Amino acid sequence: MVPRFVGLMAVDLPPKASVCGVRLVTPDRPDPSGLVVEYAVRQYPPPGTGVPRGSVVTVWFDRAPGDPEGGSGVREPRRPGPEGGGPRRELPEPPEPEPVTLTGG
């Protein structure tokens, strides 16, 4: 049965694959032996699939920001937030208190 590799660090994948009797393939990383802190973001076949011992499981990793070979997907530009307007939720400032005169008595 295929284990869940998604979310695991790259360094943890080979031992888990070995215990489960599957082989790993990483098409977006030609030499995965140097990977340590990258995380698996996708796999095929999905977890729980019954496969014979020695079957291949393909795992993809999220690329780090600034990696020249890609990124973490297409990102839409963020537009500026909404402009002012609409109802205000602040209360107006209270009026100045009137002076109180004390008389002796």
Domain ranges of the chain: 10-61
Instruction: Count CA atoms closer than 13 A to 98's CA, side-chain side.
Output: 3
pLDDT at 95: 87
Tell me what percent of the residues of the chain surpass a pLDDT of 70: 70
Strands (E) across 3-94 are located at 23-25, 40-44, 56-61
pLDDT greater than 70 at residue 80: no
pTM of the predicted structure, to 2 decimals: 0.57
- CA dist 29 and 6 (Å) reads 16
pLDDT greater than 60 at residue 13: yes
Higher-confidence residue of 98 and 35: namely 98
Mean pLDDT of the chain: 79
pLDDT greater than 80 at residue 91: no
